Each structure stands twice: as C-alpha cells, then as structure tokens.
Amino acid sequence: MAHNEAVSPGRGAAVLEALFHQSPTGLLVLDTDLRILRINLTAPDLHGAAREQIVGRHVTDVYDLSVPGEVEAMLRGVLAGGESVRGRLVGVRRKGSTGPEYLFSVSAFRLEDARGKAWGVLAEMLDVTECERVTRRMRVLGAVREHVGRTLDVVATCEELTQAVMPDLADIVVVEVVDAVIRGEEPPLSPLGPEVPLRRAAYGHSGGEEQTQAHPVGDVRALPFATPYAQTLADLKPRLVALGPDTPWLAADPPRAEAIRASGARLLITVPLTVRGTVLGLLSLYRTDQADFYDKGDVALALEVAAHTALCIDNARRYTREHTIALTVQRHLLPPQPAPRSSVETAYLHVPSAAGGGGGFDTFALSGARTALVVGEVAGEGVHAAITMGQMRTAVHSLAALDLEPDELLARLNDTALSLAEERVTLPPGEPLPLTGSCLYAVHDPFAQTCTIALAGHPAPVVAHPDGTTEVLDLPCGPPLGSTAGPPFAATTISVAEGSVLAFYTAALPQIGPAPDILRQVLAHPGRPLQDLCDEVLYRLRRNDCRHSDVVLLLARTHPFPAEDVATWHLGHRPKAVATARGQAHRQLARWGVDEETAYTTEMIVSELVTNAVRYGTPPVRLQLIKDRTLTCEVHDSNALAPRLRHAKTADEGGRGLFIVAQLAQNWGVRHTADGKTVWAEQTLPPPPRRRVLS
C-alpha cells in the first residue's frame, strides 16, 4: 500500500470518527485558544448541556478543574513546545455543580498541520475515579491495621485512629467512647441506653489549624436524643447523612450544630464501635472538601475501620452492666432482625423507656405464604415487664400455629393474660401484681392482597397507599388484654394494594402527637426506604416523650407473591383426580428444579391430601403449590369439617392419610375459611447456593 494512500484524508477522517464514537477513552480537541472543537467524554453528566452548546467555549468555561491554572499552563506548554504530557491526574466537575468530582488521568498531545504548525491540542481523558477511590480505601485500611492498636491505652488508640483515616477517609474525625470503658469497666450490651455518658476521646482535623469543637476532648456527656449519633448507638446501624442549614435534628444539639456550620462539614458518617455484642463508643467522620463525597463503599470501609478499632479498645476496657439489666433482658426477648419475606418488607423503630418497658413487636411466617404482624405492650417497666412481654410473645406464636383468625387469637391471648395475672397473686409482697396490656395482630395474605386486623385496646394503624394518600383505619377495638369484661374482639379485613405501607405503633407514640397526624406526614412519600421513614419519625421525638414508656413503630410494605412461585389447579371430585394432581405436581416441581427426594415426598403428600378431599370433602377441590422459604402443598374443599389424625389398626385398609402426611412434612395443619377449609403441609427446601460477592 502506498504511503499517501495510508494517510489519505478519507481514511484519516474515518479513523477520527471511530475514535470519537467508539473509543472508551474521553477525547477533547482544543484549538490554540483552548476552546473546545470536538468532545467525547465517557461521563456525559459532566456536560450539563448539549454538545452544540459546548463547542467553541473555553475549557475552563465548561468545567470546574481542581487546579485550573496548572492545567491551562500544561496545555499551553504542549502547544508551545510540542512535548506531550501523559497521566496527569486532574479533578473535573461540571461548571457550577456541587456534585461529585470526577478524577481523570489526562494525556495531552500537540496537533500540527502538514507544515508542522500547531493548530490545537488533543486531550485524552481516562476516568480513574473509582480506581483512585479503591486505592485510597486500601491505603486507609492498611494504615489502620498498621498504626491503630499499638498501645493498650484506650485514648491513645482513638488518637491513632484519627491520624490513620485523615485525610483519605475524612477531613474531621471525632471518636467518643463510653465513659466507663475509659475507666476499665465492662461495656454495656446493645442497644446503648440514651442516658449512658460518652467521653470525647479524640478529635482530628486534616487542616491542622485550630477548629471550633462542639465539646473539648475529655468532655463527658450523653448524646442528644433524636440525632443520627444516638440512633446509630441504639440500633447499631451506620448512618450516611447530608448536612445543611435546614437539617432538622441539628436543633437537638446546638453546640454540635454550631461546630458543623463553622467547619463547613457537608457529609457525615456515624459508625458504632462494637465487639461481641457490646457497645464501646461512636466514630463520626465528616467531609468538608467540596470535591469529596461519600458512598456505600465508604460506609463499608468505615465499618471495617470501626471493627478493627473496637477490637483494639476491647483489650483494655472494663465496664459494669448492672444499670442496663432491664434493657439487656428486653433486647433478648425482642425478635431478631426479621427474615426477608417474599410479600412483606418490614422495618421497625424501638425506643425503650429509661427503665426498660414492656413494648414489643414481632413478624413471623404463617401457612400459605401469609405473614403475621404483631405490636403490643404490657403495663410496667423493668425486668418484670420485659419478661411478661416475652411470655405474651411466646403465647402469640403458639396460638398462631393453630391457624386462628386474628379475633379468636386475641380472645385466647386475653385468657393467657388472665392466667398470668392469677399466678401473680401468689408472688411475694412488693412484686408487680396488675397485668394489663394492648395488642394488635394482623395477617397479610399476598394472594388475596388483604390484611386482616384485630385490636385489643390498641391504637388503630395508619395506611399509606401507593399514590401517597394516607388514612387512619376505622377499626373496632376490643378491650385491653387482662380484661374480664367488654365487647368481643373483632377482625376487619382490608384490601392492600401493591406498595402500600402499614404503620403499627404503641400508645407511647401519640405523645409526639397526635401520632396518626405525624405518621401521615411521614408516610406521604411511601416509596422511600422503610428505615428512612422510621428514622424520620425518630427525629421528631423528644427525649421526654418516651421516658416512661417504650415507643415501638413497625412499618410493613406489601408486595404481591411472585406469580412464578405458585401453581394452582382445580380438580374434579372423583378418584382419578388423585393421579391428575400427582402428575401436575410432578411437572411443576420439575420446572422449579426441586430435587428428586423432595419432589417424591411432595407427590406422596399431594396424593394423600387430594385423596382425603375427594373421599371426605365437598367439591370444588383445589390444589395449590407454593415455593417460598418452604415448599407448601395446600388442598382446599368446601367441607368445613376438619380432618383428624388417626392411628389406623393393622387390619384397616384406610385411615393413615394424615398420619403419613404428618410423618413426611415438616409441619401441617388445617386453616378454616369462609367457603370451607384448607389442609396444608410444609417441607423444608435446601438453602440456595450462596453467591460470592466481589468487592
């Protein structure tokens, strides 16, 4: 091929077009006045305008550069001397934007005409923002592991931490430790009570100059209520918070608010210092530089830093726990973090009273992919109230296993409360005798898209519809638990559309009052994360509002059950329906990829339940398979008479159906409905293989 043919204008233009339309690297062509002639950036949100509006403008008129003078001098040097520049790191942000700054590796090359005269500069820009952030995080983690924990002194360890994380992770660092830990006592178990004092153990500022502090190092005080700091120590979850003049919770701590404003802090990460279920303190990280921002990766890094620091502090800490016994008992009696469910997403807020009250909540699975939602409280405070609430919670689980309707469950729960009250009569003098309480019990059915609710002396829930409208449900309320007289309990079934949010709460919440109005304001945007909604309610609380009684808020967002995980067949009321049902079940289980052993057991259960329905039930007969956390087989017929498990004799030809089902299934039962009954059986499914997450 001839030389002039290889560099012909047509082919050169084709190469240029390919570069600007297909190259993964950003390209800028500038003229001798550094005006943009052509552009192809890999981060289009940096433009802020159409390309036609960018062409012809000076590069510094389009972008805010971290070092504009040095960049312009570099480009003019390339134009003047012709020596290329490679790999210069430059921070770039859209002109006038306050968003995150992108970091580019910039290489610049002089563009010449055929006579060697410079007519412009080609700038190649490679986005290395994420790469640099990962490098910075690894540098922070290495510094923490190398330098933090070299002594057995708690304060020295905290000071080492501040130096290790600045400035790569934070511009300002504050470490606060439970005061008793400084004195060498045992740390309290979580959640940390709002009355526990913390000592400011270390403070660091990357600027080096004297800065205004909310409190001096060594100051001891309890964290103010209704702030991210206090809530992080209450539920042990990190918080990433944007700071501004209108941030509502700043009013709860004026000294800290003034220090934040004086420092120019824009972002805050709060992370608990915990080890083996105990709380040692709080780590607060602030960003003041406009070019830096926080994301989930920084929160994860802060958690790793806090975990390492907590282990180092734990080598020298001591603390007594007598004054937190009530909170400890209550913590163990409350349910753990609710397991994720296919049709209900939940989040909760629990603010215990100063002495530990008897408030509680629960969520657990019922047959047929339904979910039970419970909120209640018992009168009193301290260990006795917490233990009583634990007894009532156990009773609710036991009664729910009988597939009782919500109103019937509350009636039997009231009987349990009366029995416990009778037992208290025999307690020694001075022990708490009255036993009264309230309870809300609700059952969400994802297939019918309904929620059935019954109340026992409990506030009515608030519902937020997907369109943002809210309402306080008008429900009949039965007497409080422990009552011997009053109207009977009643259950009400309401329709709940996909994406609805139900808010259940204890009577202490109206003290921020009235609770329905506050909740309706908060829930006006039901699409927000549920934990964010819980936090917003918390920030509206005042410490005195929940000093004498627990505040409990349980939020539930409803979802339809995945259609691909349920199969339903209507069967004829004749013997051959058994073979039909077994064949349908076999094919469906194969589509779900159920292992052979489980599938064979399920087919046996289907045979026995359908046989029982055809022989003793009333048409129509319906078979339903549900694949959720368990594999459930349900057979429904119109005969309300419940079957019973029989132990057939050796010579009997039948009577072993339910006995076989009971042996094969993990659990089974009978659920009565308005049009008959449903006999169900559950089997455990092997857990899905854990996916490896690469970070």
Res 4 pLDDT > 70: no
Tell me if residue 406 falls in helix, strand or coil: helix
Task: Tell me, yes or no, whether 326 lies in a domain.
Answer: no
If one counts every other C-beta atom within 10 angstroms of the C-beta of residue 145, the result is: 13
Tell me if residue 363 falls in helix, strand or coil: strand
Q: How many domains would you assign to the chain? A: 4
pLDDT of 636: 94
Task: Tell me, yes or no, whether 430 lies in a domain.
Answer: yes
Average pLDDT, the chain: 82
pLDDT of 648: 47
> Both 528 and 493 in a single domain?
yes
Examine the fold and report which residue of 543, 558, 573 is the final residue of a domain before the chain moves on: 558
Q: Which residues contact 250 (CB under 8 A, 6 or more apart)?
A: 243, 256, 257, 260
What's the average model confidence in pLDDT over 585-593? 93
Question: Taking CA 412 as the corner, what is the angle to CA 488 and CA 631, rounded to the nearest 5 degrees?
Answer: 115
The larger pLDDT score, comparing residue 210 to residue 118, is at: 118
Task: Tell me, yes or no, whether 619 lies in a domain.
Answer: yes
What's the average model confidence in pLDDT over 258-267? 87
pLDDT bracket for residue 8 (50, 70, 90): low
> Both 216 and 364 in a single domain?
no
If one counts every other C-beta atom within 10 angstroms of the C-beta of residue 2, the result is: 7
Task: Tell me, yes or no, whether 5 lies in a domain.
Answer: no
> Both 118 and 146 in a single domain?
no
Question: Partners of 376 in the beta sheet?
Answer: 360, 439
For residue 417, give its domain range: 339-558
pLDDT tens string 638-694? 988 877 665 544 444 445 678 888 889 889 999 988 889 999 999 998 776 555 544
pLDDT of 130: 80
Q: Which residues contact 53 (CB under 8 A, 6 or more apart)?
A: none
Q: Which residues contact 668 (CB under 8 A, 6 or more apart)?
A: 658, 661, 662, 679, 680, 681, 682
pTM above 0.85, yes or no: no
> Both 506 and 525 in a single domain?
yes
The larger pLDDT score, comparing residue 379 to residue 571, is at: 571
> Both 353 and 465 in a single domain?
yes
Examine the fold and report which residue of 77, 100, 127 is the final residue of a domain before the chain moves on: 127
pLDDT of 5: 46
Q: Highest-confidence range of 176-190, 228-242, 418-432, by mean pLDDT?
A: 228-242
> Both 117 and 145 in a single domain?
no
pLDDT of 41: 62
The larger pLDDT score, comparing residue 167 to residue 513, is at: 167
Contact between 637 and 625 under an 8 Å Cβ cutoff? The reply is no
pLDDT of 194: 77
The larger pLDDT score, comparing residue 325 to residue 265, is at: 265
Task: Tell me, yes or no, whether 175 lies in a domain.
Answer: yes
Res 326 pLDDT > 60: no
Q: What is the C-alpha separation between 668 and 661, in angstroms, rounded?
A: 8
> Both 161 and 89 in a single domain?
no
The gap between the terminal CA atoms of the chain, to the nearest Å, is: 49
pLDDT tens string 202-235? 999 987 656 678 888 888 888 888 889 988 988 8
Q: Report the sign of the C-alpha dihedral through residues 466, 467, 472, 477, in that order.
A: negative
Question: Taking CA 592 as the corner, what is the angle to CA 586 and CA 593, rounded to the nearest 5 degrees?
Answer: 90
pLDDT of 10: 54
pLDDT tens string 28-83? 788 888 887 777 765 555 655 666 667 777 877 777 777 787 888 888 888 887 78
> Both 254 and 239 in a single domain?
yes
Q: Which residues contact 27 (CB under 8 A, 6 or more apart)?
A: 19, 20, 38, 39, 40, 41, 122, 123, 124, 125
